Amino acid sequence: MRILLIDDHALFRIGLQELLERRGLEVVGAVGDCEEGFQQVQALQPDVVLLDMRMPRMNGLEVLRLLRERGAQMPIVILTTSREENDLIASLQCGARGYLLKDMEPDDLIQALKRILAGETVVAPELTMVLARAVQGEEAPRAPKAIEQLTPREREILCLLAEGQSNKVIARNLGISDGTVKLHVKAILRKLGVHSRVEAAVLAVEQKFCEKPETKT
């Protein structure tokens, strides 16, 4: 995996580069200037671009738009501290393939990048509910019949996905292996007709599938 970093904070940029390289990933460039970033994308053609949101002169959204307008096809991932709904939605609308937070665990970041390279759109688990609230009312409600096709275990895992839990955490909570969780997630995506965990979680929230009935006292 060949990664290009565009982030104006030198300490974070250098630290992230070292972290990724220690885990066997190739950082082909790490720059703090947007114009230099454009040149590096064109010259190096990285597998994935990690892009900061808050930068001087030109913010991450503007860089993202220009990269897409200039024909950049590789996955571009926003890596930011911003948990704002507007930033998340605008990034996805502009063509970001991921929206991740800078305080995530290093191993979770690498797993997210692998999923993005495999074709998924990945949003930080903590922001799944933010995304779900944003799309509610913007799309026609999807029929709940798809959810009815799920087995009890798949329904249980879907609700844990909607809470933003990773495969590792789900496996630990349910006492099953990571591999088993992955198989269940694949089955859930297929039955729901969606392409990512985020879409599945959004669908569960839209249908209020995981809401617990209120108990009367």
Domains and CATH numbers, the chain: 2-123 (3.40.50.2300), 134-206 (1.10.10.10)
Residue 212: per-residue pLDDT? 63
Predicted structure pTM score: 0.66
Residue 16: per-residue pLDDT? 92
Question: 34 is written with which tokens?
Answer: 């947007």
Q: Which of 31, 65, 66, 73 is nearest to 48 (CA)?
A: 73
Calculate the dihedral angle through the C-alpha atoms of 127, 72, 45, 23, rounding to the nearest 10 degrees: 0
Q: How far apart are CA 157 and CA 165, in angstroms?
A: 9
Average pLDDT across each block of 10 residues of the chain; the chain has 217 residues. List them in order: 92 92 92 87 93 84 88 92 87 89 88 89 82 59 65 90 84 90 88 79 77 53
Residue 163: per-residue pLDDT? 82
